[in-house]
Structure 1
Amino acid sequence: MILAACPNPALDVTYRVDRLVPGESHRVSQVLQRPGGKGVNVAAVLHEAAASVTATGIVGGASGAELACALDELGVSHRFSHVAGATRRTVTVVAGDEATVFNEPGPTVGIDEWRTFTELFASLARDAAVVTLSGSLPAGLAVDAYAELTRLAHDQGVPVVLDCSGAPLVAALSAGPDVVKVNAEEAGAAVGRPAGTMSETLSAALELRHMGAAECVVTRGAEGLVASTTAGDFGVTTGVPVAGNPTGAGDAFTAGLALGIEHDEHWLRRLRLAAGWAAGAVARPTAGSVDRAVAAHHQTSLTFQEITV
């Protein structure tokens, strides 16, 4: 079983209107609602692929109850810890080809509420083959919250795939996550220098490993990715870019990595699966789903090369 942790999930709400004019009232033609947050997207992709997965995290209020119900409707297994505050919502107003997004702040998690979640997390990790830790942290948590979760997973002998950014990423490196998966911008910010070229990206990945990550994968959007692993340092380039919605592509990539680790695949096979799933996610209009045909085709277009700084 893969345990997909999402400390700060969201209920994603989309309004469709003919046009958006500030200061005016609007008639909404369509309302779409789905469970969101990076870890929730990871769980949804894995469930769609018929993998054994459980989503966990912190929810609260009516929006948290709606998120859990939405996962039930999708058939995604979940075990959440409940807090007094309300789960955040992301509200997207779509008018024509333009989207305006409003991100709510989410709940403030107290010390006792966090302790309750960590106890649940530790119990779930006992039955997991891989743990993924994804996304932002809710207010009230210490910056090293992901470091704590990484150690709890390691106490159970379970490898961790970490996908976060900023100060929580840097703090988590001290706990030695097994795989850090970030994009080039996040990697550059963590090491304090650009990660634009493939050589610069590899340099950043090596630095993240020096800071504590056992292995590191840095995605570069349509330009491919760089992976610094115990099997070697690889640059991966793609064929024709996939057009569509990139939201959730990184989460599909994380899901593919986790499944490859669970199945003990060689690193090149893990990267091929993950990159394919990311491309397949771009082809879908919403996060948490993968176009299998696009994913399979994309996997055949990847070019691998061993690289050095």
Structure 2
Amino acid sequence: MILAVTMNPSVDISYPVERFKIDVVNRVETVRKTAGGKGLNVARVIAQMEEEVLSTGVLGGTIGDYIVQELNESNIPNDFLRIKKESRNCIAILHEGMQTEILESGPTLSKEEGVAFLEKFECLLTTASLVTISGSLPKGLPTHFYRNMVEICSHKGKPVVVDTSGETLKQVLKHEKKPFAIKPNTAELSQLLGLDAEAGIIDLKQRLNHEIFKGIEWIVVSMGDKGAFVRHGHDYYQVTIPRIDVVNPVGSGDATVAGLAVALNRNKTVESVLKTAMTTGMLNTMEAITGFININKFKQYFDLVKVEKID
């Protein structure tokens, strides 16, 4: 079973309007509300790939109740730490080909609530074979909180895939106990190392050979329509994807993590792991709904992904 962690989930609300006008009333006819957060997108795609998954994290209030209701209706098992504070809404206004977002920061967790989640997390690990940790931390938790979770996974012998950024990711990587896999994009990788975002294959090889990545089995650098550049152990791979019609790119990184986690959990070959991760990422971009793939198209696009080992 894959344990998918979302520490700061939300209800994602989409407001499509023909024209967004400032300082006047904007009326919306069609509203879409979904259980949101990177880890919830990961869990949804894992479930769509018919892999056993359990979604966890921290939820509170009526918004938390709605998220659980949405997950239950989607037949996604879940077991969250419940708090009294209200979880957050994240609003996207879709207008004139653009997307304006209004994101609530969410609840501020106490030190005691952080400790309570770590205790719950350790209990849930007993039935997990692999863990994914995705997205940002809620306010109140220290930037090394994910590092603590990775350390717990290490002691329990559970591989963990981490998809976060900034200081939170840096704290994870600076610790002696490393995650099994990370999935930064090129911008996050550059931010982490303090380097320019533009990089060729030689530069990427040098960057992934940095001391901070020592001990990490899989580093998958997602590169949008250019596919991915990957380090597995001491080997490097360039993964290319076909041209596709993009409907909604939001959540494609989460879908990539889901595919990566499922393939790793199934002990697939290196080539199959990388092709699966890229395929789920592509399939998400082809759908209007975030965190959704058409599994019937999986084989078709899986066969179009190319994996080349780089010397």
TM-score, normalising length: structure 2: 0.94
Question: Per the alignment, do residues 28 and 233 of structure 1 end up closer, same or farther by CA in structure 2, a change over 3 Å counting?
Answer: same
Q: Could you report, residue by residue, the CA deviation over 1:245-286 in whole angstroms, capped at 9, with x for unpaired residues?
A: 111111111011111111111121100011001000000112
- For 1:58 and 1:87, locate their aligned partners in 2 and report how far apart those are by CA, in whole Å: 8
- 1:182 is paired with a residue whose SS is coil
- Aligned with 2:183: secondary structure? strand
Matched, 1:118 2:118: yes
| Alignment match, 1:128 | 128
SS at match of 2:73: helix
Question: SS where residue 14 of structure 1 aligns?
Answer: strand
SS in 2 for 1:55: strand
Please, which runs of 5 or more residues in structure 2 have no aligned partner?
Answer: none
Deviation >4 Å, runs of 4+: none
CA distance in 2, matches of 1:28, 1:280: 28
**1:204 to 1:144, Cα distance in 2 relative to 1, 3 A:** same
Instruction: Specify the alignment match of 1:248 in structure 2.
Output: 251
- CA-based RMSD of the aligned residues comes to 1.6
User: Is contact 1:4–1:39 with CA below 8 Å preserved after alignment?
Assistant: yes
Match of 1:161?
161
Report the equivalent of 2:277: 274
| Partner of residue 148, structure 1 | 148
1:306 corresponding residue in structure 2: 309
Classify the secondary structure of the residue corresponding to 2:182: strand
Bigger shift: residues 241-250 or 109-118: 241-250
Equivalent residue, structure 2, for 1:57: 57
User: For residue 253 of structure 1, what is the amino acid of its counterpart?
Assistant: T
Picking from 201, 220, 223, the partner of 1:220 is 223
The 2-side partners of 1:88 and 1:202 are apart by 39
- The 3 A distance-change label for structure 1 pair 260 and 16 is same
Q: Distance in 2 between matches of 1:203 and 1:249?
A: 26
Give, in whole Å, the separation in 1 of the partners of 2:103 and 2:207: 30
SS in 1 for 2:112: helix
Give the direction of change, closer, same or farther, for the CA distance of 1:241–1:205 in structure 2 (3 Å limit): farther
Name the counterpart of 1:138. Answer: 138
1:230 pairs with 2:233: yes
Aligned residue number for residue 189 of structure 1 = 191
Residues in 1 aligned to 2:48 and 2:306: alpha-carbon distance in whole angstroms: 27
- 1:306–1:223: structure 2 CA closer, same or farther, 3 Å change rule? same
Equivalent of 1:202 in 186, 200, 205: 205
Higher mean alpha-carbon deviation, 247-256 vs 225-234, is at 225-234
2:48/2:295 contact within 8 Å kept = no
- How many Å separate the matches in 2 of 1:152 and 1:187? 25
1:131-166 deviation digits (Å, cap 9, x = unpaired)? 001001111111111110111112221100010000
Please tell me the residue identity of whatever aligns with 1:182: P
User: What amino acid sits opposite 2:235 in the alignment?
Assistant: G
Give the drift of 1:61: 1.6
Q: Is 1:242–1:279's contact at 8 Å kept on the other side of the alignment?
A: no
1:37 matched to 2:37: yes
Structure 1: give runs of 5+ residues left out of the alignment: none
Shift of 1:202: 2.8
How far, CA to CA, are the matches of 2:209 and 2:299 in structure 1? Answer: 30
Change (3 A) 1:18 1:224: closer
Equivalent residue for 1:97?
A: 97
The amino acid of 1:99's aligned partner reads: Q
Q: Secondary structure at the match of 1:19?
A: coil
Q: Structure 1 pair 208/136, CA: closer, same or farther in 2 (3 Å)? A: farther
Once the two structures are overlaid, the 10-residue window that deviates more, 210-219 or 7-16, is 210-219
CA contact (8 A) 1:195 1:201 kept: no
Q: CA separation in 1, counterparts of 2:35 and 2:164?
A: 19
**Mapping for residues 52-91 of structure 1, pairs under 5 Å:** 52-91=52-91
The Cα of 1:14 is off from its aligned counterpart by: 1.2
Supply the AA of the counterpart residue of 2:261. A
Aligned match for 1:286, one of 286, 289, 294: 289
Tell me the distance in 2 between the aligned counterparts of 1:70 and 1:227.
Answer: 35
- Between the aligned partners of 1:307 and 1:194, the Cα distance in structure 2 is 22
Aligned residue type for 2:195: R
CA apart distance, 1:95: 3.0
